[in-house]
Amino acid sequence: MPQYNPPLRDMQFVMHELLNVVDELKLLPAHADIDVETINAVLEEGGKFASEVLAPLNLSGDAEGCTLDKTSHEVTPPKGFKEAYAKYVEGGWPALGCDPAYGGQGLPLVINQSFYEMMNSANQAWTMYPGLSHGAYEALHAHGTEEQKALYLPKLTSGEWTGTMCLTEAHCGTDLGMLRSKAVPVNEGQADGSYKITGNKIFISAGEHDMVANIVHLVLARLPGAPEGSKGISLFIVPKFLVNADGSLGARNGIFCGGLEHKMGIHANATCQMVLDEAIGTLVGAPNKGLAAMFVMMNAARLGVGNQSLGLTEVAYQNAAAYAKDRIQMRALSGPKAPDKAADPIIVHPDVRKMLLTARAYAEGGRALSTYVALTLDRALSSADEDERKEALDEVSLLTPIIKAFISDNAWIATSHCMQVFGGHGFIHEWGMEQYVRDSRINMIYEGTNTIQSLDLLGRKVLGDNGAKLKKFGNLIASFVEDEGVNEAMQEFINPLADLGDKVTKLTTEIGMKAFGNPDEVGAAAVDYLRIVGHLSFAYFWARMAKVALAKQGSGDLFYTAKLSTARFYFAKLLPETAMLIRTARAGLPSLMEMDEALF
């Protein structure tokens, strides 16, 4: 069975040595009291929960899956999941990043993000139950009325209830403007805030389960006479059990699990078809503004998906590295390295190392970027300065599609490499490696496919403001390049970073010009473009990490030696992907559109 060791040392490196999060957080009134010891203590305890409680349930949960009782419509997750959830609540973990006004601990997101990384490494399918719940919490916190917040947020904060996002219908996922679920006022003609909602939703993660007393569904539906398309969609709270004014539970509401999906991965999460049959719900936010309200949740969810992929990359790496040191097979081409054994450990083979280092460089690069973005989001939410909040939010919005798509694509590559290290055993369930590959695959799809992320990045975030947000991020890089330009030891990292920065600037202009002529040029280049900017951001953080490691190399702590080696690997073997991507992005639209649809 695969093992998981929380990467506390690397998390501390990123937080305290690379990003100095405590100094940054001190500038935010809500987090001015946080200190290194608190952060480390929370991560250590969180790591124990992940590795000791969740990790042992990952493989068995995948094999067992969820079961639906077709009579009662109740769903039972795999053995041990309910008990693990009870421990999670008992430990106060759901409240970590929640508002103290509703019983939360009010810790910064940057800590919650690392805690979630560890839970995702240990058990992505389990972690989706509280993860979706946190998304519902955020949407309600941002858009609910005071009454709604008072009724629901304390229970979501304590973890007594969980939440879901009910968006997708069978005929529409990406294109929510087409959705058909209907909401009509309970009291015909007088909208008192209660609606009867009818429709069918699919792909509802954690949609039904027996781990909590109530489930708070956030549902998108159309009001009578609503405009067509995405401008006619409203958001509703639809609890599994109606909630009385005093917070006690009332009648079973008309929202049921009609079926469970049979999926490629995340078997242990209940992916439900939800049937709403005049289910009672209350409106969240303004009528017809549901998509905007839901976007709060979706943006958080997109960062969450990047984090799931980061977690899978890390745990797959750990297990593949351990196997490669243990498994003996063949001799090194350059002669025996373990002559006392019947064969050498496979880590002597350069390609095995390449597969391992790919996963490692993607995990550590992803951790640096994700932690940076979480910290920026803390500034966006908690800075006392409005301009800073706006600027931070702009940066988060630029980097969100990169985190979602680049890290999830990388995880697909990395988990597959790590599985390959195991040879035939990698294909067998009991080793756990193929599960990481299967679980990671959904991350490229849900919360907006990676193609959608790339259109969001290139079309909306970059070209949409004539490159202003990108330029600001580019300035960070340029000033780092300038500062380190005089540092001889940094040249091997700075030169390719600066070179790629220049190329991105030129490429962005070129695509922008082409897009004036034909907007489809954006769609032709977007996926390549996202990976190029993803590499630019990784190269930036790898260069910064190399700088820290170079400075501390004399300490005798081999952590820094490994960090430098991994940085060198990243620049030598992963960054060159941009040479391909720039070519294919520049090749643009013609070869994609030449063939008539009928000939496909």
Catalytic residues: 447
Is residue 441 part of the contact set for a second copy (CB under 8 A)? yes
Q: DSSP letters along 439-505, please?
A: HHHHTTTSSS-HHHHHHIIIIIIIGGGTTHHHHHHHHHHHHHHHHHTT-GGGHHHHHHHHHHHHHHH
For a second copy, which stretch binds (CB under 8 A), given 95-103, 106-114, 237-245, 446-454? 446-454
CB of 433 to a second copy, least distance (A): 9
For a second copy, which stretch binds (CB under 8 A), given 41-49, 351-359, 400-408, 469-477? 351-359
Query: How far apart, in whole angstroms, are the C-alpha atoms of residue 571 and residue 553?
Result: 19
Cβ proximity of 589 and 518 under 8 Å: yes
Is residue 446 part of the contact set for a second copy (CB under 8 A)? yes
Closer of 479 and 518 to a second copy (Cβ):
518
The torsion defined by the Cα of 523, 525, 526 and 527, in degrees rounded to 10, comes to 110
Q: Which of 146, 340, 386, 597 binds a second copy (CB under 8 A)?
A: 597
Closer of 153 and 202 to a second copy (Cβ):
202
Q: HEC profile for 486-526?
A: CCHHHHHHHHHHHHHHHHHHHHHHHHHHHHHHCCHHHHHHH
Closer of 251 and 558 to a second copy (Cβ):
558
Alpha helices in 3-145 (DSSP H): 8-12, 21-26, 36-48, 58-64, 81-90, 109-143
CB of 519 to a second copy, least distance (A): 4
- Quick one: 351 exposed, middle or buried, by C-beta within 10 A (0-12, 13-18, 19+)? exposed
CB of 546 to a second copy, least distance (A): 13
CB of 404 to a second copy, least distance (A): 14
Closer of 509 and 591 to a second copy (Cβ):
591
CB of 444 to a second copy, least distance (A): 7
* Contacts to a second copy from residues 253-312, by CB under 8 A: 261-265
Is residue 527 part of the contact set for a second copy (CB under 8 A)? yes
Q: Which long-range contacts (CB under 8 A, 24 or more apart) does 48-52 make?
A: 48/6, 49/87, 49/88, 49/91, 49/93, 49/119, 50/4, 50/6, 50/115, 50/118, 50/119, 50/121, 50/122, 50/123, 51/4, 51/5, 51/6, 51/118, 51/122
Closer of 297 and 575 to a second copy (Cβ):
575
* Contacts to a second copy from residues 577-596, by CB under 8 A: 577-580, 583-584, 587, 589-596
CB of 254 to a second copy, least distance (A): 25
Is residue 438 part of the contact set for a second copy (CB under 8 A)? yes
Query: Which residues lie closer than 8 Å to 521 by C-beta, 6 or more apart?
Result: 511, 514, 515, 588, 589
Mask for 544-573, x = binds a second copy (CB under 8 A): --------------x--xx--xx-xx-xxx
CB of 263 to a second copy, least distance (A): 5
Instruction: Number of residues interacting with a second copy: please give it, by CB under 8 A.
Output: 99
CA-angle at 87, arms to 84 and 90, nearest 5°:
155
**DSSP conformational letter for 253:** P
Q: Which of 192, 225, 488, 600 binds a second copy (CB under 8 A)?
A: 600
Query: How far apart, in whole angstroms, are the C-alpha atoms of residue 52 and residue 210?
Result: 22
Residues, the chain, total?
600
Is residue 50 part of the contact set for a second copy (CB under 8 A)? no
Cβ proximity of 67 and 75 under 8 Å: yes
Is residue 540 part of the contact set for a second copy (CB under 8 A)? no
Q: Which of 114, 181, 307, 416 binds a second copy (CB under 8 A)?
A: 416
* Contacts to a second copy from residues 162-201, by CB under 8 A: 168, 172-175, 178
CB of 216 to a second copy, least distance (A): 22
Q: Which of 140, 347, 500, 549 binds a second copy (CB under 8 A)?
A: 347
* Contacts to a second copy from residues 323-342, by CB under 8 A: 324-325, 329-330, 332-335, 342
Q: Which of 518, 551, 555, 557 binds a second copy (CB under 8 A)?
A: 518
For a second copy, which stretch binds (CB under 8 A), given 105-113, 154-162, 500-508, 514-522? 514-522
- Written as six digits, the tokens of 126 are 């389990």
Query: How far apart, in whole angstroms, are the C-alpha atoms of residue 485 and residue 463?
Result: 30
Is residue 510 part of the contact set for a second copy (CB under 8 A)? no
**DSSP conformational letter for 403:** I
Closer of 21 and 525 to a second copy (Cβ):
525
Closer of 60 and 105 to a second copy (Cβ):
60
CA-angle at 372, arms to 483 and 466, nearest 5°:
75
CB of 584 to a second copy, least distance (A): 5
Cβ proximity of 30 and 109 under 8 Å: no
Helix H or strand E segment including 386: helix 386-401
For a second copy, which stretch binds (CB under 8 A), given 277-285, 288-296, 422-430, 468-476? 422-430
Query: Which residues lie closer than 8 Å to 139 by C-beta, 6 or more apart?
Result: 165, 218, 235, 284, 293, 294, 296, 297
Is residue 1 part of the contact set for a second copy (CB under 8 A)? no
Is residue 406 part of the contact set for a second copy (CB under 8 A)? no
Q: Which of 233, 242, 494, 524 binds a second copy (CB under 8 A)?
A: 524
Q: DSSP letters along 164-230, please?
A: EEE--BTTBSS-GGG---EEEESSTT---SEEEEEEEEEEEET-S-SSSSEEEEEEEEB-TTPPSGG
CB of 542 to a second copy, least distance (A): 12
Closer of 105 and 451 to a second copy (Cβ):
451
CB of 55 to a second copy, least distance (A): 20
Cβ proximity of 457 and 448 under 8 Å: no
* Contacts to a second copy from residues 130-169, by CB under 8 A: 168
Q: Which of 48, 70, 429, 472 binds a second copy (CB under 8 A)?
A: 429
CA 373 from chain centre, in angstroms, equals 12
CA distance readout (Å), 415 to 309, 441, 570: 9, 10, 17
* Contacts to a second copy from residues 54-73, by CB under 8 A: 63
